[in-house]
A and B are shown apart, each in its own frame.
Chain A
Amino acid sequence: MSLKLTNLAKSFGPVEVLRDINIEIEKGDFLVLLGSSGCGKTTLLNCIAGLDETSAGKIEINGRDVTRIDPSDRNVAMVFQSYALYPTMKVARNISFGLECQGVPRAERQRAVERVAGLLQIADLLDRKPSQLSGGQRQRVAIGRALVRDPEIFLLDEPMSNLDVKLRNQMRLELRELHGKLGATFVLVTHDQIEAMTMATKVAVLDGGQVQQFGTPHDIYYTPRNRFVAEFVGLNKMNFLAGRITFRDAEPAVAVGDHVAPLSHYVFSERNPEEGQRVLLGIRPENIYRSRDRLEGRAFFRVERNVRRKDMTGGDLQVWFEFEDQLIACRVRSSRLPDLEEKNTFFLDLQNASLFDAATEMRL
């Protein structure tokens, strides 16, 4: 266990910003705290860093209780969203300032700076001031400042949000490589789900100050624990259909309008459903096809509908049709463009669909 948060809570006066946070990750994990702005993810990071005091709960780093310990004694390092480089110090001193505060001798500091500069390929920037650096270079220096202290945990607060798209992709790769090379634990805060999906070994989806789901990116994507996570994760928003459970030959099935499909493949998380239980059926747009060949199992709905709307999204096309009084989105390859109001056959593949209780919106 590298980092363990137990029943963590945090309030600013009467406002509860974090509630009952329980997360545990191993050494070498890359944890991403994912959520939209105001969900409490940065506060959680600050609590781990020790910059914000927690109101309740426990923080352990490598088995050591650090809940009431000063940030600089937690053996963690942080990369800030704005990088927060000290404007008046040259890059070299920016990186070594932490060591300076700890009273590390000059020669040793210099060696440490050189090591980090080599690792991040910023050796030729050491004599510059932060104002003379580009955005990407600043970010490297900020990472270097964290790296030099050889911490047990790296905390990164939206480190890529100030970079343009191209640079962001590149830094994402580099950060992953760095993580592999160091084998240290990383905790990264972001609102960008691509960042979360591509870099994380573990993701914690936060909303309203609570962990909505904690698991691998695969878990989060394929078995969202509730409707919020299902809707939040995924580039194209999941479709939700109101339906009910029915049993055929003791096998559960889901019915939406007149359409019924078997659920023999579906792994129910807790107890089995009841006959007539109202459910929400979540299907991602990429699991709706226009040809039977792509179906993965025998659980599907087949509908013939007119195309109501179509949106170009670069590589592929989003097509909308009406089903049970709802507009349903479907991803199709743009090489085979349907026309508006053209009748099409759609196959709604339920192999990777999710079922939620209609009332609690929790996964079945």
Chain B
Amino acid sequence: MRHYAHRTALLYGALFVCALYFLSPLYVMLVASFKTLAEVRGSSIISLPEVWTIQPWIKAWSEACSGLECNGIRPYFIATFEIAIPAVAFSVLLGALNGYVMAKWRSRSADLIFTLLLVGSFVPLQLYLIPLAITLRELNIYGTTAGLILIHTVYGIPLTTMLFRNFYVALPDELVRAAIMDGAGFFKIFFSVILPLSPAIAIVAVILVFSGIYNDFLFALTFGETGKRPIMAAVQNIVASSYGIKEYNVNIAAVMISALPTLLLFLVAGRFFVRGLTQGALKG
């Protein structure tokens, strides 16, 4: 028995050490964001604050400067949601419809399109930048919210299509056949029979696509509107471009705020995250 107790202790020891590695950045950012600037500069950011202050968070939210604009990260935060919400809605709805067609109205050419979509999702995004810039200019939406909504809808489609298709393939074909016998048409079958079965996979898709858009940096940096850039590009800019004395505590608070939405989403709906990642990954 002692032997087993020994092993259990070892097991927990190993897990605990790893937990420290994974938790340390979160810890550091939390404590540093509650310190005064003097304290950050006086000691390392790692030690616990002597005086706790919420000032850096307030300043990060409404006063921090990105370039010459000093409105905090609030406008960028809002701008990100203005982009993410429609883009998530469009790409999830289109993905569900695509998945329905590809799983339940199968044809050889639909299978080919799916394969091209899947393989295409491995192309590095850098290859899209120049043609995308040209296209957005032609459409007159370069550097606008509409442009980013279009981009994220388009490049969200491979993921959502794959999620819904794999989910719908597992639904029995007889369900569709029964509905056909009942005289339901293409859209009636989708909206009355298939879609009501989809909340679980829709939640997974919404979470994954939202996190992807929210955490996006490349498109945000390239096509973001000055003053209304998506959050990751903005926060990177705030950190990189502060003039004079670097206000580490404010910068760290800004990063913390920008990290909160997806972090909270993960803590609340972690199991959907896990499901989406393992499911999505296994087919990719």
Contact = CB atoms under 8 A, between A and B. Distances in A.
Contacts, number: 58
A30 to B, nearest CB: 20
B276 to A, nearest CB: 22
Interface stretch (A79-87, A165-173, A263-271, A353-361): A79-87
A101 B174 contact: no
A46 B175 CA distance: 14
A88 B179 CA distance: 13
Given A88-B196, A88-B197, A97-B192, A82 B182 contact: no
Give the one of A71, A72, A77, A84 with max B CB within 10 A.
A84
A84 B184 contact: no
B183 interface: yes
Interface in A65-83: 71-73, 76-78, 80-82
Given A72-B180, A101-B184, A80 B174 contact: yes
Contact of A86 (B180, B183, B193): B193
Q: How large is the interface on B (under 10, 10 to 19, 20 to 34, 35 or more residues)?
A: 10 to 19
Contacts of A46: 177
A51 B177 contact: yes
A78 B196 contact: no
Contacts of A135: none
Given A97-B192, A101-B188, A84 B183 contact: no
A80 B197 CA distance: 19
Contact of B174 (A77, A81, A145): A81
A72 B182 CA distance: 6
A234 interface: no
B124 interface: no
A44 to B, nearest CB: 15
A84 B178 contact: yes
Contact of B181 (A85, A86, A98): A98
B172 interface: yes
Nearest to A49: B181
Contact of A51 (B181, B184, B197): B181
A347 to B, nearest CB: 51
Nearest to B199: A88
Contacts of B177: 46, 51, 78, 80, 84
A117 to B, nearest CB: 17
Contact of B179 (A76, A97, A102, A149): A97
A239 to B, nearest CB: 40
A82 B185 CA distance: 21
Give the one of B177, B196, B197 with max A CB within 10 A.
B177
Interface residues of A, number: 24
A78 B181 contact: yes
Contacts of A84: 172, 174-175, 177-178
Contacts of A76: 181
A203 B185 CA distance: 34
A88 B195 CA distance: 10
Nearest to A78: B181
A358 B125 CA distance: 72
Interface in B172-221: 172, 174-175, 177-185, 188, 192-193, 196-197
A47 to B, nearest CB: 13
Contact of A72 (B172, B174, B181): B181
A80 B184 CA distance: 16
A32 to B, nearest CB: 20
Contacts of A102: 183
Contacts of A71: 180-181, 183
Give the one of B174, B178, B192, B196 with max A CB within 10 A.
B178
A85 B179 CA distance: 9
Give the one of A49, A51, A86, A88 with max B CB within 10 A.
A86
A98 B175 contact: no
Contacts of B172: 82, 84
Contacts of A145: 178, 182
Interface string A91-114: 000000110011000000000000
A101 B178 contact: no
B181 A77 contact: yes
Nearest to A103: B183
Contacts of B185: 101
A73 B184 CA distance: 11
A97 B184 contact: yes
Contacts of B196: 88-89
Contact of A87 (B182, B184, B197): B197
Contacts of A88: 193, 196-197
A149 B180 CA distance: 14
A49 B188 CA distance: 20
Contacts of A149: 182
Nearest to A97: B182
A51 B197 CA distance: 23
Interface in B81-104: none
B175 A101 contact: no
A102 B172 CA distance: 24
Contacts of B180: 51, 71-72
Contacts of A49: 181
Given A87-B197, A88-B197, A97-B192, A72 B183 contact: yes
29 contacts: A46-B177, A51-B181, A72-B181, A72-B182, A72-B184, A77-B181, A78-B177, A78-B178, A80-B177, A80-B178, A82-B172, A84-B172, A84-B175, A84-B177, A84-B178, A85-B178, A86-B179, A86-B192, A87-B197, A88-B193, A88-B197, A89-B196, A97-B182, A101-B183, A101-B184, A101-B185, A101-B188, A145-B178, A149-B182
Given A81-B174, A87-B197, 7 more contacts: A49-B181, A72-B184, A77-B181, A80-B174, A88-B196, A89-B196, A145-B182
- 5 A-B pairs with the lowest CB-CB distances in the bound complex, closest first: A72-B183, A98-B182, A88-B196, A84-B174, A84-B178
